[in-house]
């Protein structure tokens, strides 16, 4: 089962993509939802400071971090990328499971939200950025999957994937399929 962190932010949009691709999911809202039944986890966009606080207040932080460190496939978009970053300029590190330096609200207030096309793992896709971060430096184990406009905007480290943009807000499902199939090794549910 795929878990979607549903504390705050754009989780419903990820759920719609999963449904469209034929995967079922469960909303993760409290500590008891962090179980061994989860095959993968999505951390949506939203406000990283709020999500970080809620993870702590709800007593979910340590368990989620441990599960990711033990190899639970995880996909973070935008605020989700910030939560995964070991170092955050303009914010504090949270789960800190990916060896990346991230700049929060990196495009400035005026240019904070825009759409463009960029290459992701060798394929041209539409990208939507909303008060987005970018990755300033990526550690040696981190694979850069997209460098768009001279900025690193998609990275993979083992079973962790993070994008500065929001693939759940476009019609293109390349990034979700990459995560589900290539990283998590999952296929759509058969008996739906």
- In the numeric block, the tokens 């768009």 are attached to 148
Is 131 a binding residue for ligand GLN by CB under 6 A? The answer is yes
With beta carbons less than 8 A apart as the criterion, state whether 14 and 42 touch: yes
Are the C-beta atoms of 81 and 164 separated by less than 8 Å?
yes
Q: Tell me, yes or no, if 181 is annotated catalytic.
A: no
Instruction: Name the residue among 105, 104, 34 with its Cα closest to residue 74.
Output: 34
Q: Based on CB atoms, which residue is closest to ligand GLN, 22 or 112? A: 112
Least distance (Å) between residue 108 CB and ligand GLN: 12
- For the question of residue 116 being annotated catalytic, the response is no
Q: Does residue number 130 form part of the binding site for ligand GLN (CB under 6 A)?
A: yes
Specify the residue, 43 or 145, whose C-beta has the smaller distance to ligand GLN.
43
Residue from 166, 171, 176, 182 carrying the catalytic annotation: 166
Nearer to ligand GLN, 103 or 184 (CB): 103
Number of residues that bind ligand GLN (CB under 6 A): 11
> Residue 131 or 177: which CB sits closer to ligand GLN?
131
The token duo for 103 is 């700049």
Residue numbers 96-115 binding ligand GLN by CB under 6 A: 104-105
Torsion of CA 160, 166, 171, 176, to 10 degrees: 10
Phi-psi region of 93 (alpha: psi -120 to 50; beta: other; left: phi over 0): beta
Catalytic residue among 14, 15, 168, 176: 168
What's the min distance (Å) between Cβ of 75 and ligand GLN? Answer: 13
CB 106 → ligand GLN: shortest distance, Å?
A: 9
Burial readout 111-148 (b: 16 or more C-beta within 10 A, e: otherwise): eeeeeeebebeeeebbbbbbbbbbbeebeeebeebbeb
Q: How far is the CB of 45 from ligand GLN (least distance, A)?
A: 3
Q: Is 33 a catalytic residue?
A: no
C-alpha to C-alpha distance for 24 and 101, rounded to whole angstroms: 33
Write out the catalytic residue numbers: 78, 166, 168
Q: Which residues bind ligand GLN (CB under 6 A)?
A: 45-48, 78-79, 82, 104-105, 130-131
């Amino acid at each position: 089962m795929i878990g979607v962190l549903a504390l705050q932010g754009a989780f419903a949009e990820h759920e719609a993509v999963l449904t469209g691709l034929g995967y079922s999911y469960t909303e993760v809202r409290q500590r008891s939802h962090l179980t061994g039944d989860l095959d993968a986890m999505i951390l949506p966009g939203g406000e990283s400071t709020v999500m970080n606080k809620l993870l702590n207040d709800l007593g979910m932080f340590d368990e989620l971090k441990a599960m990711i460190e033990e190899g639970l496939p995880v996909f973070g978009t935008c605020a989700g990328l910030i939560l995964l970053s070991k170092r955050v300029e303009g914010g504090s590190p949270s789960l800190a499971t990916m060896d990346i330096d991230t700049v929060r609200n990196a495009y400035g207030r005026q240019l904070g939200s825009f759409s463009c096309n960029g290459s992701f793992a060798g394929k041209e896709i539409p990208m939507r950025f909303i008060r987005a971060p970018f990755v300033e430096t990526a550690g040696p184990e981190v694979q850069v999957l997209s460098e768009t406009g001279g900025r690193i905007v998609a990275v993979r480290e083992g079973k962790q994937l993070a994008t500065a943009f929001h693939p759940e807000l476009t019609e293109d499902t390349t990034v979700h399929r990459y995560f589900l199939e290539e990283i998590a090794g999952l296929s759509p549910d058969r008996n739906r």
